[in-house]
C-alpha cells in the first residue's frame, strides 16, 4: 500500500502535466488562428489636394491673360466636373486672395503630402482671381508637395517636385489621381525624393497610355539598381515616330 505522501506527490505531478498540456494546446490554437500577436493596421497616407482652374471666361482670362475659345472653356469645365470630390478648387474668400488661401491651406494641412494642379507662367502658379504664388517658395519647409503644372520641375525647390514638360489640364488631373492613389498605398509617408519618383512614373505611364499608336511607338524601360539605402527604380520612355505624317490640326 502506497503512503499518503507518495499519493499526494503523484496527484500534484499529474495536475502540473495537465496544466502544461492545456497551455500548449491553447498556444497552438492561437498561433494557427494568427491571434498570438495582434497586428496594428497601417495608417492610410493622406494627401491634401488642390486645383486652380477656370470655371468662367473671366477666371480663364485672369489665369491665362487671354480670352478662351468656347471649346476650350467647355473642355475645362468638363474636366473640373470629373475631379475627385476631395480636391479643393482654390478661390478667393473673405477678402483673402486665392494665392493666400492656398498657401494657408497648404501650410496648415495635417496631410502627409500635398498636390496642386494649375497653370505655371514663368514660375508663378496662377489663380482664378489673378493672384499668384512663386513655385520656388512652395517647397521651403513643410511637407512634400507635387506641382502638377507645365514645366514645373524647373522651379521646384526643397520639398517640391514637378513635371519637366507641358501638360494639359485633363492630363494633369489624371496624373494627380494616379499619384494620389499610389501614395495612399504606401506604408509610410514618402520623402520628397520618393514623391518625385512616383510622379515621374505616373507621368510616364500617362504619356504612354495617351500616345497615338498610329504615329508613335512607345518603349518603356524600367531599371532597378541596388544602393546602400535600398533599391532605386529608374523609368525611361522613348518615343519613336513611325513616319506617318500628322493630320491637319494635330500637335507633333
- All cell numbers assigned to 186: 504606401
For the chain, the three-class secondary structure string (H helix, E strand, C coil) is CCCHHHHHHHHHHHHHHHHHHHHHHHHHHHHHCCCCCCCCCCCCCCEEEEECCCCCHHHHHHHHCCCCCHHHHHHHHHHHCCCCCCEEECCCECCECHHHHHHHHHHHCCCCEEEEECEEECCEEECCCCCEEEHHHHCCCCCCEEEECCCHHHHCCCCEEECCCCCCHHHHHHHHHHHHHHHHCCCCCCCHHHHHHHHHHHHHHHHHHHCCCCCEEEEEEEEEEEECCEEEEEEEEEEEECCCCCCCCCCC
Asked whether 184 and 47 are in contact (CB, 8 A), the reply is: yes
User: Tell me, what's the pLDDT at 94?
Assistant: 86
Q: What tens-digit pLDDT sequence spans the chain (252 residues)?
A: 445 544 455 555 545 544 544 444 444 444 444 444 443 455 789 999 999 999 999 999 999 999 999 999 999 999 999 999 999 999 998 889 999 999 999 999 999 999 999 999 999 999 999 999 999 999 988 899 999 999 999 999 999 999 999 999 999 999 999 999 999 999 999 999 999 999 999 999 998 888 754 355 555 555 555 555 566 555 555 444 444 444 443 333
User: Tell me, what's the pLDDT at 217?
Assistant: 52
Asked whether 102 and 66 are in contact (CB, 8 A), the reply is: no
Long-range contacts of 219-226 (CB under 8 A, 24+ apart): none
Q: Look up the pTM and report it.
A: 0.70
User: Tell me, what's the pLDDT at 233?
Assistant: 54
User: Which candidate, 153, 209, 202, places its Cα nearest to that of 180?
Assistant: 202
Residue 24 CA, chain-centre distance (Å), reads 47
User: Tell me, what's the pLDDT at 44?
Assistant: 87
> Taking CA 93 as the corner, what is the angle to CA 87 and CA 97, rounded to the nearest 5 degrees?
95
User: Which candidate, 159, 200, 158, 168, places its Cα nearest to that of 182?
Assistant: 200
Amino acid at each position: 500500500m502506497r503512503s499518503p505522501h507518495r499519493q499526494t506527490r503523484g496527484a500534484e505531478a499529474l495536475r502540473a502535466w495537465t496544466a502544461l498540456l492545456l497551455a500548449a494546446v491553447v498556444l497552438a490554437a492561437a498561433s494557427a488562428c494568427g491571434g498570438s500577436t495582434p497586428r496594428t493596421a497601417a495608417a492610410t497616407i493622406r494627401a491634401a489636394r488642390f486645383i486652380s482652374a477656370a470655371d468662367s471666361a473671366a477666371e480663364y482670362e485672369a489665369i491665362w491673360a487671354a480670352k478662351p475659345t468656347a471649346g476650350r472653356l467647355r473642355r475645362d469645365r468638363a474636366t473640373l466636373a470629373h475631379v475627385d470630390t476631395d480636391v479643393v478648387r482654390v478661390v478667393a474668400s473673405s477678402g483673402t486672395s486665392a494665392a493666400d488661401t492656398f498657401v494657408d491651406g497648404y501650410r496648415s494641412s495635417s496631410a502627409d503630402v500635398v498636390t496642386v494642379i494649375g497653370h505655371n507662367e514663368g514660375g508663378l502658379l496662377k489663380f482664378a482671381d489673378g493672384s499668384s504664388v512663386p513655385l520656388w517658395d512652395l517647397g521651403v519647409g513643410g511637407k512634400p508637395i507635387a506641382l502638377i503644372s507645365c514645366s514645373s520641375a524647373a522651379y521646384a525647390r526643397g520639398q517640391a517636385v514637378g513635371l519637366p514638360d507641358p501638360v494639359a489640364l485633363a492630363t494633369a488631373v489624371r496624373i494627380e489621381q494616379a499619384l494620389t492613389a499610389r501614395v495612399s498605398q504606401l506604408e509610410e509617408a514618402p520623402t520628397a525624393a520618393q514623391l518625385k519618383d512616383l510622379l515621374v512614373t505616373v507621368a510616364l505611364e500617362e504619356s504612354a497610355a495617351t500616345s497615338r499608336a498610329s504615329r508613335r511607338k512607345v518603349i518603356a524601360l524600367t531599371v532597378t539598381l541596388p544602393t546602400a539605402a535600398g533599391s532605386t527604380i529608374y523609368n525611361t520612355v522613348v518615343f519613336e515616330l513611325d513616319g506617318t505624317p500628322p493630320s491637319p490640326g494635330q500637335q507633333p
